[in-house]
Amino acid sequence: QDYFTDENRVLKKDPQQDYHLEYAMENSTHTILAFSRELHTCDTNDKSITESTVRVIWAYHHKDMGEAGQNYHGSNRGTKSLRLLNPEKEEVLSASLPYFDLTNKDVPVPDKDTTYWCQMFKIPIQHEKHHVTKVEPLIQKGHENLVHHILLYQCSSNLNDSVLDYGHECYHPNMPDSFLTCETVIFAWAIGGEGFTYPPHIGLSIGTAADPQFVLMEVHYDNPSYTEGLIDNSGLRLIYTPVLRKYDAGVIEAGLWVSLFHNIPPGMPEFVSEGHCTLECLEEALGAERPAGIHVFAVLLHAHLAGRAIKMRHFRNGEEQKLLAYDDEFDFNFQEFQYLKEERTILPGDNLITECHYSTVDRNRMTWGGLSTRNEMCLSYLLYYPRINLTRCASIPDIMEQLQFIGVKEIYRPVRQTWPFIIKSPKQYRNLSFMDAMNKFKWSRSEGVSYNELVLKLPVNVRCSKTDNAEWSIQGMTALPPEIERPYKTEPVICSTSPCLRCSIFLTLFVVYVTVSTIGNIGPFV
């Protein structure tokens, strides 16, 4: 039956029954319920199912429901973030394909809530071109709920083997400088994910001088019970083939350059930041390397803990195209590449805008762009082909008008551009850094709204980077953001009352029962 709940957690039967049982099976250990419903029921008691992340909440009791109503589930409950409309691409892979593993070696997981552990690896394939066709998670048995997500970054090729000596906690003041050269995400996995399969005509190239030599694996450990003595050996498996595919995959980081120039006032229920992959950068890079355009087939949208929603907007000749990707229910702990339903072509002169929505209602100080999870980012990683020499297409908002907004009149101008610069006047900010002054300013919600309107109109500094931090000539130039409609105008929802193949979803629920007497003889269930 179709039930819903209110803010008092009381279950109520929905007068509009939109969930339909397809079949049910039960044996001594499992109950299986398969059901379907329309994506958009237009029932105020239902959530629409879109391409965004969905929080699936589950609870059950080991006894069937009696006449008195539902039995309380007790501890038999949980939640999981899923993308119901983004199934993994199915591809038949030969079991004989070679692979290599990138795994942590006996990492001691601290007895604290959250740990990010970073380890550098060298790609073992060095002398002949191959294509990676699939990346799979290797989660240590029993650690299925401990390992929350894994990111793999491409690092500078100018490193040497000395960086491989040891791992270190990520985003730590004492972490090795070599970690800072690892900026482009080439793979992302989150709890519940099954890995990433490249489409049949595309592969991640390894083994040549232009390919990743060194990679950094970041593992997020989630230990809310502060369990002591945990040792982890999880990681990734990269399956590759010597049979080359037609195209090499590339990755472009688009959005806001990670810096203190990106900042969000405290106490804001909604604040929007925009990162621009400008037409000037795409005109130069694509015009020189691929005038016919590149084809995007998957996107990873990335923010941190204050992130609530992200959109990747696409403009051509001033006209907005269909969204490239979006997630209106962003979950920092569930980050994976989304396959696009159809490949999208990006042409020279197109504009891409990464639009990030944040909430800082629970914060009383400024939130700054940065690497820590309490800092923020606003990025999109585009998986595309054929690979060109463009790794970053981003922007930085102008800083001087941000200073003027809080009343700064003059700064000490150093001989060289150093950070943080110091404020000269007015008196209340004298000798303070930009960060201190922004925190000293008395932010109200109305001031925050006015500041948001200002930063969205500011000129931007163009970042247009090649491999190993080389730059296209447009790098560092100032550009004006395009005139765009805000907020984004969503397509109208079409409600349906009759089943159809394209507008309904089919779900299967498995409930596993384990008797106490057998728990000691089996592995954990996920």
Catalytic site positions: 116, 302
d(CA 144, CA 453): 43
DSSP string for 443-502:
--HHHHHHHHHHHTTS-EEEEEE-GGG-B-TTTT-EEPPPP--SS--PPPPPP-SS--TT
Which amino acid is residue 374, in one-letter code?
R
Cα 337 to the center of its chain, rounded Å: 8
Cα 1 to the center of its chain, rounded Å: 35
d(CA 108, CA 219): 12
d(CA 526, CA 513): 12
d(CA 377, CA 371): 8
d(CA 381, CA 185): 7
d(CA 275, CA 310): 11
- DSSP SS3 for 21: strand
Token pair of 475 as six digits: 């790098």
Strands (E), 18-167: 20-26, 30-38, 54-59, 77-82, 99-103, 107-109, 114-122, 130-138, 147-154
CA distances from residue 345 to 127, 340, 396 in whole angstroms, order as listed: 32, 12, 25
